[in-house]
Amino acid sequence: SAVISQKPSRDICQRGTSLTIQCQVDSQVTMMFWYRQQPGQSLTLIATANQGSEATYESGFVIDKFPISRPNLTFSTLTVSNMSPEDSSIYLCSVWDRGQSGYTFGSGTRLTVV
């Protein structure tokens, strides 16, 4: 199955700053997804990252707050902009894995905003 590397694994950031999270996959994938998991909650889909086009955002998430890049079929970034303590969450990327006919998840980025 696909192997996903997410960086950083964790970070503590000051409010008002931005953090860019990287997601690297060891194989070419068509669809990449970004999720947020707030403390004690389930996962919420932020957006679908499409190669060569703009990301598709879910209700409640906007590009200005969570800009996404997808420069090629193995890489994507999610930026959390102008952070506030409410953005403290685990952010995860996921890909459709043709090898297992399912979705594989990265280990996540644990973000704390102070």
Partner 1 sequence: DAKTTQPTSMDCAEGRAANLPCNHSTISGNEYVYWYRQIHSQGPQYIIHGLKNNETNEMASLIITEDRKSSTLILPHATLRDTAVYYCIVANEKLTFGTGTRLTIIP
- Does residue 8 have a cis bond before it (omega within 30 degrees)? yes
Site for partner 1 (CB under 8 A): which residue of 18, 20, 28, 100?
100
- The smaller minimum CB distance to partner 1, of residues 1 and 28, is found at 1
| Interatomic CA distance for residues 61 and 89, integer angstroms | 14
Q: Is 88 in the site for partner 1 (CB under 8 A)?
A: no
Cα Rg of the chain, angstroms:
13
Residues 19-38 that bind partner 1 (CB under 8 A): 31, 33, 35
| Interatomic CA distance for residues 2 and 94, integer angstroms | 10
Q: Which residue ranges make up the site for partner 1 (CB under 8 A)?
A: 1, 31, 33, 35, 42-45, 48, 90, 92, 94, 97, 100-108, 110
